[in-house]
Chains A and B, each alone.
Chain A
Amino acid sequence: QQPVQSPQAVILREGEDAVINCSSSKALYSVHWYRQKHGEAPVFLMILLKGGEQKGHEKISASFNEKKQQSSLYLTASQLSYSGTYFCGTGYNQGGKLIFGQGTELSVKP
């Protein structure tokens, strides 16, 4: 039931773009995206509800493909501060229980 994230790790140069995918084998109700830097707490980025909407602000956005039961996180013109591990948390009903993926480690180099 744990969602599968891909890629497991990615290395970027400043200014490059990246896409992180989160796939579920079970019908999704919501997808939550978090970023965690080493030794710190996960930080909330955004929530997407089923319906195929796209959300985002500035250079970080995400989409939800209900047919594929997949969400994608888009990071454009990456900055050094984007480095960290990105987790998707999936919800399968209106409750608050989240199942997190194994994470995608993103490293942005100067």
Chain B
Amino acid sequence: DAGVTQSPTHLIKTRGQHVTLRCSPISGHKSVSWYQQVLGQGPQFIFQYYEKEERGRGNFPDRFSARQFPNYSSELNVNALLLGDSALYLCASSFLTGVQPQHFGDGTRLSIL
């Protein structure tokens, strides 16, 4: 079975632009979480979605938004990009919400110039 898939794998943008990152969860998984990982640090929680509803939000500005679709795939949108948004963005899926093993995708490497 396919794991969590994310697209694109790499992306280069300039300051002020907008970006959309995509995630397809493992088949049967209904919850998707987004994390930002800066080099040398642990993943930082951005959002969790379950059954198309936001179930948790981390300490990120309103420039960050996300949504989950009826097929449980998800998009992360970031507006007005800043240099500090350069990071690896990870998507993780789990069967349900709550205390569940989260399975990560390989991430999208976002570079802001």
Contact of B41 among A30, A47, A103 (CB under 8 A): A103
Query: What is the size, in residues, of chain B's interface with A at 8 Å between Cβ atoms?
Result: 28
Query: What is the size, in residues, of chain A's interface with B at 8 Å between Cβ atoms?
Result: 25
Contact status B42-A96, CB under 8 Å: no
Q: From B57, which residue of chain A is reached at the shortest CB distance?
A: A97
Which of A13-21, A57-65, A69-77, A87-95 lies on the face that meets chain B?
A87-95
Contact status A96-B58, CB under 8 Å: no
Q: From A40, which residue of chain B is reached at the shortest CB distance?
A: B106
Contact of B55 among A34, A43, A95, A100 (CB under 8 A): A95
Contact status B99-A102, CB under 8 Å: no
Decide yes or no: A97 and B48 within 8 Å by CB, A29-B99, A41-B106, A44-B101 being known contacts. Answer: yes
Shortest distance between the CB of B105 and any CB in chain A (Å) = 6
Q: Is B78's beta carbon under 8 Å from chain A? A: no
List chain A residues, Cβ under 8 A from B94: 96
Q: From A91, which residue of chain B is reached at the shortest CB distance?
A: B99
User: Which residues of chain A have a CB within 8 Å of any CB of chain B?
Assistant: 2, 29-30, 32, 34, 40-44, 47, 49, 87, 89, 91, 94-103
User: Which residues of chain B have a CB within 8 Å of any CB of chain A?
Assistant: 4, 31, 33, 35, 40-45, 48, 50, 55-56, 58, 90, 94, 97-107
Can you report 30 residue pairs joining A to B where beta carbons are below 8 Å apart? A29-B99, A32-B101, A40-B106, A41-B4, A42-B43, A42-B90, A43-B104, A44-B104, A47-B100, A87-B42, A87-B43, A89-B42, A89-B43, A95-B48, A95-B55, A95-B56, A95-B97, A96-B33, A96-B56, A96-B99, A96-B100, A96-B102, A97-B48, A98-B45, A100-B35, A100-B43, A100-B44, A101-B42, A102-B42, A103-B42
